[in-house]
């Protein structure tokens, strides 16, 4: 009986924020440490991420990555040689970025997300594919990253967002854990997006501080993460579940051609 109750608790399906699909709640226990540990056990136990292919949707040694989205062929410029510079990670695309971008496109098609005229902030945009797709889907997007990473990002926005657009895109610097530009927070964004932004233990608390600072009660956060390091993801979830309700999006709601057992998508709203 107790086992059945526990199983049902893991299968609690809810809608969170502006996302109209059903999500599996990660905050299943009152104790954030237990909730995070259970989520990691489930993900690594069921998905066995390290057994499947990584970088399946990207070519990190190429100068350009071509992706079809929103009726366009996007050409994302990359700088593979910069990847060798310590601390530089956003000079090439990562699977979770491609998957999040295609998830947004698919969700808008299904009607589970509406981005038209919505204020969207992307954190750690890197090469900018996710923000570009959100702008093509009608959002007013602000793509952000560290100050010395904005050149490639701006180039990609200019190269891909030409002609008539449903939405718009601007590029701003935003370093996690530092004072926010008030325009980013006021009015609070409808959506905050991030792909592969949970990857360094040192940055987890700064990222979380920015999420707490940036988001209002009506903000829906969508994060796509790479299942590389269980300890870092657990550390993030343990802290995040204290501030946010966290739901995992089942892969049957992702774009059918862009699924991966090495990636997870979470939706978060403030408690």
Site residues (vs ligand SAM, CB under 6 A): 89-90, 93-94, 96-97, 124-127, 145-146, 149, 174-176, 195-197, 199, 203, 206
Q: Return the residue nearest ligand SAM (CB atom).
A: 90
- Output the DSSP codes for 198-264: ---HHHHHHHHHHHHHH--TT-EEEEEEETT-HHHHHHHHHHHHHHEEEEEPPGGGS-TTS--TTEE
Mapping DSSP to helix (H, G, I), strand (E, B) and coil, where does residue 49 land?
helix
CB of 97 to ligand SAM, least distance (A): 3
What is the closest distance, in whole angstroms, from the C-beta atom of residue 207 to ligand SAM in the complex? 7
Instruction: Determine the 3-state secondary structure of 66 from DSSP.
Output: strand
Give the C-alpha separation, 193 to 199, whole Å. 15
| Cβ partners under 8 Å of residue 129, min gap 6 | 65, 67, 74, 76, 93, 97, 98, 101, 156
Quick one: 21 or 101, whose CB is closer to ligand SAM?
Answer: 101
Nearer to ligand SAM, 43 or 100 (CB): 100
User: How far apart, in whole angstroms, are the C-alpha atoms of residue 69 and residue 149?
Assistant: 24
Nearer to ligand SAM, 124 or 167 (CB): 124
| Least distance (Å) between residue 210 CB and ligand SAM | 8
In three-state secondary structure terms, 271 is coil
CB of 54 to ligand SAM, least distance (A): 13
Q: How far is the CB of 96 from ligand SAM (least distance, A)?
A: 5
Pick the closer one to ligand SAM by CB: 76 or 237.
Answer: 76
Q: In terms of CB distance, is 27 or 260 closer to ligand SAM?
A: 260
Give the Cα separation of 200 and 205 in Å (integer). Answer: 10
Tokens of 52: 């499947």
């Amino acid at each position: 009986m107790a086992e059945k109750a526990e199983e049902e608790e893991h299968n609690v399906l809810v809608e969170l924020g502006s996302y109209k699909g059903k999500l599996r709640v990660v905050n299943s226990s009152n104790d954030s440490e237990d909730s995070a540990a259970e989520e990691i056990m489930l993900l690594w136990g069921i998905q066995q991420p390290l057994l499947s292919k990584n970088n399946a949707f990207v070519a990190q040694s190429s100068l350009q990555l071509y992706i079809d989205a929103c009726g366009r062929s996007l050409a994302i410029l990359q700088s593979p040689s910069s990847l060798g510079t310590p601390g530089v990670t956003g000079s090439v695309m990562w699977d979770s970025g491609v998957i999040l971008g295609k998830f947004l496109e698919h969700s808008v098609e299904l009607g589970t997300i509406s981005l038209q005229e919505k204020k969207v902030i992307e954190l750690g945009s890197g090469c900018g594919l996710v923000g570009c797709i959100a702008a093509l889907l009608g959002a007013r997007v602000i793509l952000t990253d560290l100050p010395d990473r904005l050149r490639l990002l701006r180039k990609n926005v200019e190269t891909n967002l030409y002609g008539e657009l449903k939405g718009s895109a601007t590029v701003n610097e935003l370093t996690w854990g530092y004072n926010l530009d008030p325009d980013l927070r006021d009015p609070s964004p409808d959506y905050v997006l991030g792909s592969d932004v949970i990857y360094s233990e040192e940055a987890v608390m700064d990222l979380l501080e920015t999420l707490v600072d940036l988001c209002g009660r009506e903000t829906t956060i969508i994060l796509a993460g790479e299942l590389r390091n269980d300890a870092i993801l657990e550390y993030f979830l343990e802290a995040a579940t204290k501030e946010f309700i966290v739901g995992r999006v089942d892969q049957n709601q992702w774009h059918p051609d862009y699924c991966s057992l090495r990636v997870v998508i979470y939706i978060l709203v403030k408690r």
